[in-house]
Structure 1
Amino acid sequence: MATIMIVAIFISTLVSTSPEAGATRIVPIGFGTTAQSRLN
């Protein structure tokens, strides 16, 4: 559970270096919370 969240945060920080940071950062975080709630 925690691993998915860490990966999602890591991906979001990687993506934040790209020009489309604002739009793309929401996707990994949203996916991370969805996967976490699904596991819980």
Structure 2
Amino acid sequence: MFPVLLGTGKRVFPSGVPGEQKLVVRESEAYGNGVVKVIYDVVR
């Protein structure tokens, strides 16, 4: 997996703060070439 975070505005993950973020899968899709797209929402 190669996660990519996209967007602008307020940071989702504070810089310099260790720890895990709670995420929930919003959408996923598998393609014939083996790529899997997974979209997560941050649990606040």
TM-score when normalising by structure 2 = 0.23
Q: Which has the higher contact order (CA 8 A, sep 6+)?
A: 1
More strand as a share of residues: 2
TM-score when normalising by structure 1 = 0.23
More helix as a share of residues: 1
